[in-house]
Amino acid sequence: MTRAVTPGAEGAKHQRDLASRAAGHTLDDARFRALADAYGGEIGHWPQDLRPAAEAFAQTSAGKAVLEEAAQIDSLLDRFTVASPSASLQMQILKSGARRGAWHRALRRVLIGAGLLGVGLAGGLAGAAAVMIAVPAPALIAEDGVTAFGGLSPDVASSEEKPGLMPAGEGRQ
């Protein structure tokens, strides 16, 4: 003879099964309550790895009561809405970004210009140095006594032509 299972008894067994399934995923009553206290009454907002166990525990009457309590606080929090940013705020922020972008571009142009100028100067200096090394500078005094301004030897011929410069007595006989 099979014993009749009353709906109430079956319900209680079902509740126990659900609770034990959740417990199998290391989620007991205390942990379930702690999670609801922290994350609220919506299991979709709970840590992902705990959701399957939480869903199972949520089917129990204890689970339902805990979630209901947490949902009341959620509904209070939901009342604090924030209006969308105004168009003027968005505009101000974009203007500051555009200024920053323009400044950045100008700075980049200056740096590129300075870089090119630097490369040019460096090239000029390097060229000058190479010329100095490869081609010796013209000597101011040549070996034969000739300078860039003329010979260094006494200009005897010209002094002879000038009577006042002749040695004393040489013109007298």
Residues that bind other proteins (CB under 8 A): 34-35, 37-40, 45, 47-48, 70, 72-74, 76-77, 79-82, 84-85, 89-90, 92-94, 96-98, 100-102, 104-105
Strands (E), 119-166: 146-147, 150-151
Q: How far is the CB of 83 from other proteins (least distance, A)?
A: 8
Q: Which class for 82: exposed (0-12), middle (13-18), buried (19 or more C-beta within 10 A)?
A: exposed
Q: How far is the CB of 7 from other proteins (least distance, A)?
A: 36
C-alpha pair distances (Å), 20 with each of 51, 57, 58, 86, 109? 15, 8, 12, 52, 70
Q: Which is nearer to other proteins, 72 or 159 (CB)?
A: 72
Q: How far is the CB of 104 from other proteins (least distance, A)?
A: 6
Q: How far is the CB of 89 from other proteins (least distance, A)?
A: 5
Residue count (the chain): 173
Q: Which is nearer to other proteins, 44 or 120 (CB)?
A: 44
Q: Which is nearer to other proteins, 92 or 159 (CB)?
A: 92
Is the separation of the CB atoms in 53 and 81 below 8 Å? no
Q: Which is nearer to other proteins, 78 or 143 (CB)?
A: 78
CB atoms within 10 A of CB 62: 15
Q: Which is nearer to other proteins, 20 or 96 (CB)?
A: 96
- The three-class DSSP label of residue 84 is coil
CA–CA gap between residue 32 and residue 135 (Å, rounded): 91
Q: How far is the CB of 113 from other proteins (least distance, A)?
A: 18
